Structures are given as structure tokens and as C-alpha cells.
């Protein structure tokens, strides 16, 4: 079922350790519900602990760490266990490029709202840089 026109999806995000803190603050200014692992007591936590916390809180993980999170996604998807999903920032978006971090996630949120659903639920996806 699609949400009524003008109704925002309840998308919530968890930024992993190596995602831009300044981007997080700017995204909040745009009304995005995002927290950083350091804010929720997960600094230095291993990736499975972060993944399980995100499931409990139903937050999409936003990370650059494909090598560790992609196998977690695959394992949960194979078992059929639902989870909110994982989004990856590509290496083409420099860590220092706050504007590109913000535009990429805002663009993804806008696309999800047009679809009326979270397109990475129980899967993964890639954020795209804007030209």
C-alpha cells in the first residue's frame, strides 16, 4: 500500500563510524532522522553488533564498509530475516565532501518517497553522487 500524497516515509538512518559527521548535522537540518554510532554507544563496536542494533531500532545503516556489511546482508537475506537495509557511499564521494554526502542521501530519500517504500529493506543499495 502506498502512503497518501504528501506523507513522508518513516525512514531512519544509522551512520557508521567512517561516515561524515558534518553531513549528519546537515541532514538533520533537512529533517532526516539520523544518528551516528558514536551517539548511541556503538563507537568501536563490531559490525555484527551495529547491524543488530540497527535492526532493533529499525534504522537503515549508511556506511562505506562494503567488505564487512555486504556479507551480513547476504546472511540475513539468505535466512529470510527482515532488516531495514544497508546503504553504501561509493568511494567516488570523498569523505571530506559533505555536500555530496548530503545530496546523495537526500536524493535517495526522495526516490524512496516517490516509490512509497524503502527500496533497500532486507537488502543493500548504493548511494549516488550528484552531477
Any domain includes 89:
yes
Q: Is the pLDDT of residue 89 over 60?
A: yes
3-state SS record for 60-117: EEEECCHHHHHHHHHHHHHHCCCCCCEEECCCCCCCCCHHHHHHHHHHHHHHHHHHCC
Which CATH number fits the domain that encloses residue 44?
3.40.50
Q: Which of the four pLDDT bands, split at 50, 70 and 90, describes residue 130?
A: low
The structural domain count of the chain equals 1
Instruction: List the beta bridge partners of residue 60.
Output: 13
Q: Is the pLDDT of residue 3 over 50?
A: no
73-88: pLDDT as tens digits = 999 999 998 999 999 9
Any domain includes 7:
no
Q: Is the pLDDT of residue 124 over 90?
A: yes
Any domain includes 65:
yes
pTM: 0.92
6-63: pLDDT as tens digits = 556 789 999 999 888 899 999 999 999 999 999 999 999 999 999 999 999 999 999 9
Domain holding 23, by residue range, is 12-126
Any domain includes 131:
no
Q: Is the pLDDT of residue 103 over 70?
A: yes
Amino acid at each position: 500500500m502506498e502512503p497518501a500524497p504528501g506523507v513522508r516515509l518513516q525512514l531512519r538512518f544509522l551512520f557508521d563510524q567512517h561516515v561524515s559527521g558534518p553531513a549528519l548535522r546537515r541532514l538533520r537540518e533537512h529533517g532526516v532522522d539520523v544518528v551516528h554510532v558514536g551517539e548511541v554507544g556503538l563507537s568501536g563496536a563490531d559490525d555484527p553488533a551495529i547491524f543488530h542494533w540497527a535492526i532493533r531500532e529499525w534504522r537503515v545503516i549508511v556506511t562505506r564498509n562494503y567488505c564487512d556489511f555486504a556479507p551480513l546482508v547476504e546472511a540475513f537475506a539468505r535466512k529470510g530475516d527482515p532488516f531495514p537495509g544497508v546503504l553504501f557511499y561509493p568511494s567516488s564521494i570523498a569523505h571530506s565532501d559533505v555536500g555530496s554526502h548530503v545530496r546523495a542521501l537526500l536524493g535517495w530519500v526522495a526516490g524512496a518517497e516517490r516509490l512509497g517504500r524503502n527500496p533497500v529493506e532486507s537488502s543493500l543499495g548504493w548511494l549516488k553522487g550528484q552531477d
